[in-house]
Chains A and B, each alone.
Chain A
Amino acid sequence: MARRELMPGQRRFTPAAIGGELLTLLWFTFSLFPIVWMVLLSLKKTADQQATFFSFTPTYSNFAYVLTGDTGANLRSGLLESLLTSAGAVLVSLVIGIPAAYAAGRWKYRGSEDLMFQMLSFRFAPELMVLLPLFVIYKSLGLLDTRLGLIWVLQLVTMPLVVWIMRSYFQDLPADLEQAALLDGYTRIQAFLRVALPMVRPGIAAGALLSFIFAWNSYVFPLVLANSKIKTVTVAIGTYQGGGGQVFYNHAAAAALIGALPPLILALSIQRYLVRGLSFGAVKS
């Protein structure tokens, strides 16, 4: 983000530059409008929900209603389930993934690349190829509609991210540091825990938060494997629009906003590491 000067040959007040400003404005209008509109709608009274979108008296009651009221789609438990399953999935991925990422980043050993690409293939495999048989398996094991079952399947989302991001950070870490620690009498485990791990803290934060965001945002996994007793936020919000009865768009917008807020806040807090994380370590900025 450091580069703030103009590109070579670029001047500020030329027709081209003004055209550039206008095009940028056009993009961000398109990009931010749905979000702004969602916020506005969530502040409207039910009577105003179909009115023109600027003239209305704002109310906060929608938020209170979707959080505490009897809405059928229980948003509060949805938030709790999303939090528990996403955090659980990230935790499992960190505990299992970091050692594997360290091994793959530090040493070249037979099968390390295969392991990494197997992880990556999880990211690109069609979810239902695993979900369909898993539905049958879970049904016989009694894991349908359980947090444990959901945490397990969410590894498909969180594990590849954690492993690939962490490996790229471990690769960037000079091996000399650990060497020095070993010479100072640290054991290998101590060198890993006290020297290597603290050095890749940004990587851990980026990997953990990003995989949390994607676990929170996932839809098809909870929809197939946990859809009656436990419902995550994304599935719960989906129920606001179903059925033939009257739809309260203002309530739905308030719920959507609440469900979208945690990932948005987390994403803004790790913006610096986002590019590297989103590209699985392929693009470093």
Chain B
Amino acid sequence: MSSITQEPALPQTPPVSPRRAELPVVSKGRRTARPYLLSVPAVLLIIGILYPFVKGIVLTFQGSNAQTLRNPPWVGFRNYVRVLNPDSTFFIGKATWITIEYAVLATVVETLLGVGVALLLNRSTIIGRIFEKVLILPLMIAPAIAATVWKFMFNADFGVLNHILGLENFNWLSQGRALYSAVLVDVWIYTPFVAILVLAGIRSLPKEPFEASAVDDAGPLYMFRRLMLPLIWPYILVAVIFRFMDCLKIFDIPYVLTGGGPGVATTTLQINAFNDLIKAQQYSRGTTYMFILWVLVFITARVLVGVLGKAQARAAGAEE
């Protein structure tokens, strides 16, 4: 971990070269101040980002929209009441449910597939060796562009998927299926992310335990569950944290695919807030949705990071 660099003490020995004699003596005050001075620009930047954030929280207590932009009235908790009341038109429940369904589904599928792909590549199959370099390509295409391409492929009338799979006029983006199709695109993009993280984890493992248990005729399943899984669990968790948190704020894939539709079938919380901003121009309502999502993300992050810390401690213990 980070070590503490100390200024060299004044040389005890007589100076060998004239340059050494000029070694500056740095006062303690300057030494303590140094890291803070280096961080000043970054702190200013954080303040610059936090200002709109705080302004956003203020907005949730106002009634700001396109008409009242200059002088928004204070409304207290009315936005929250409206958004959290199940009988209200603007109830947050539907969008929250869609968001969580998307996030859980995508994270679970990507984790399972990603670990699977990592295991396959670790077996150094011939095909795996050939294609390993291009594993990350889907991850590097902008999700908005990838979703555009998938949208064409999903097209019911002449999309290539129906053509290949022999489905006639199968509607991938119907009311009932659009969310799953969006998850499919997410899986296509982000499974490589899980895979390369887990693969890096597997490759960093010591080989001896595996050789020893191979000598003992341990089956591959036993080796995976008892030896590998506990050791790579922290890597899997890092991937899960990144994926789940990103999925909670998913916007571009469903937005490009269906614009949040059909109806509200893929309207996640962020798409909901976006519609409030651009279409309804209800700035306060949109921000209220986002603040609730932020709280959700914050709590999830706390929980997941705690789990990760425990898993890392356990894996470190297991390795010794």
B255 → chain A closest CB, angstroms:
8
A229 contacts B by Cβ under 8 Å: no
Query: Do B196 and A275 have beta carbons less than 8 Å apart?
Result: yes
Query: Do A106 and B35 have beta carbons less than 8 Å apart?
Result: yes
Residue of B nearest to A217 (CB): B142
Query: Do A108 and B4 have beta carbons less than 8 Å apart?
Result: yes
Q: How far is the CA of A16 from the CA of B221 in the complex (A)?
A: 12
Task: For A125, list chain B residues within 8 Å (CB).
Answer: 53, 249, 294, 297
Contact for B127 among A28, A53, A216, CB less than 8 A:
A28
Contact for B41 among A28, A100, A241, CB less than 8 A:
A100
Query: Do B133 and A249 have beta carbons less than 8 Å apart?
Result: no
What mask results when residues 177 to 211 of chain B are scored 1 for a CB within 8 Å of chain A, else 0?
00000000000100111001100110110010011
Q: List A67-118 residues whose CB lies under 8 Å from chain B.
A: 95-97, 99-100, 102-109, 112, 115, 118
Query: Do B20 and A175 have beta carbons less than 8 Å apart?
Result: no
Query: Do B291 and A283 have beta carbons less than 8 Å apart?
Result: no
Query: Do A136 and B59 have beta carbons less than 8 Å apart?
Result: yes
A58 contacts B by Cβ under 8 Å: no
A248 → chain B closest CB, angstroms:
11
Task: For A249, list chain B residues within 8 Å (CB).
Answer: 152
Q: How far is the CA of A171 from the CA of B184 in the complex (A)?
A: 39
Query: Do B127 and A25 have beta carbons less than 8 Å apart?
Result: yes
Task: For A65, list chain B residues within 8 Å (CB).
Answer: none
Task: For B204, list chain A residues within 8 Å (CB).
Answer: 284-285
Contact for A137 among B11, B55, B142, B239, CB less than 8 A:
B55
In this complex, the interface size class of chain B, counting residues with CB under 8 Å from chain A, is: 35 or more
Residue of A nearest to B301 (CB): A124
Q: How far is the CA of A184 from the CA of B220 in the complex (A)?
A: 56
B268 → chain A closest CB, angstroms:
10
Q: How far is the CA of A285 from the CA of B205 in the complex (A)?
A: 11
Contact for A252 among B41, B52, B152, CB less than 8 A:
B152
Task: For B1, list chain A residues within 8 Å (CB).
Answer: 171
Query: Do B142 and A263 have beta carbons less than 8 Å apart?
Result: yes
Describe A's contact surface by its main secondary structure: helix
A274 contacts B by Cβ under 8 Å: yes
Interface-located stretch among B74-82, B89-97, B102-110, B270-278: B270-278
Task: For A171, list chain B residues within 8 Å (CB).
Answer: 1-2
A201 contacts B by Cβ under 8 Å: no
Q: Which of B120, B191, B220 has the most CB of A within 10 A?
A: B120
Q: List A123-155 residues whose CB lies under 8 Å from chain B.
A: 124-137, 139, 152, 155
A14 → chain B closest CB, angstroms:
11
Q: How far is the CA of A27 from the CA of B187 in the complex (A)?
A: 12
Task: For B207, list chain A residues within 8 Å (CB).
Answer: 8
Query: Do A260 and B214 have beta carbons less than 8 Å apart?
Result: no
B63 contacts A by Cβ under 8 Å: no
Task: For B223, list chain A residues within 8 Å (CB).
Answer: 9
Query: Do B8 and A37 have beta carbons less than 8 Å apart?
Result: no
Query: Do B23 and A103 have beta carbons less than 8 Å apart?
Result: no
With known contacts A7-B122, A282-B238, A179–B8 Cβ distance under 8 A: yes
Q: How far is the CA of A105 from the CA of B1 in the complex (A)?
A: 8
Task: For A259, list chain B residues within 8 Å (CB).
Answer: 142, 145
B318 contacts A by Cβ under 8 Å: no
A63 contacts B by Cβ under 8 Å: no
Task: For A245, list chain B residues within 8 Å (CB).
Answer: none
Q: How far is the CA of A63 from the CA of B43 in the complex (A)?
A: 45
- List A residues at the B interface (Cβ < 8 Å): 1, 3-10, 16-17, 20-21, 23-25, 27-28, 30-32, 34-35, 37-38, 41, 50, 52-53, 95-97, 99-100, 102-109, 112, 115, 118-119, 121-122, 124-137, 139, 152, 155-156, 159, 163, 171, 175, 178-179, 182-185, 187-188, 213, 216-220, 224, 233-235, 237-238, 240-241, 249, 252-253, 256, 259-260, 263-264, 266-268, 271, 274-275, 278-279, 282-285
Known: A16-B220, A136-B64, A217-B140. 14 other contacts (CB 8 A): A24-B125, A37-B153, A37-B160, A118-B46, A119-B42, A128-B270, A179-B8, A218-B142, A220-B251, A264-B141, A271-B136, A275-B196, A278-B196, A285-B200
9 interchain pairs, CB-CB under 8 A: A3-B124, A99-B39, A103-B35, A125-B53, A126-B297, A129-B291, A238-B148, A279-B238, A285-B200
Query: 5 closest pairs, A vs B, by CB?
Result: A217-B142, A100-B42, A9-B214, A103-B35, A185-B19
- List B residues at the A interface (Cβ < 8 Å): 1-5, 7-8, 11, 17, 19-20, 22-24, 26, 32, 34-36, 38-39, 41-43, 45-46, 48-49, 52-53, 55-56, 59, 64, 69, 113, 116-117, 120-129, 131-146, 148-153, 158, 160, 163, 188, 191-193, 196-197, 200-201, 203-204, 207, 210-211, 214, 220, 223, 235, 238-239, 242, 245-246, 248-249, 251-252, 255-256, 269-270, 273-274, 277-278, 283, 286-287, 290-291, 293-294, 297, 301
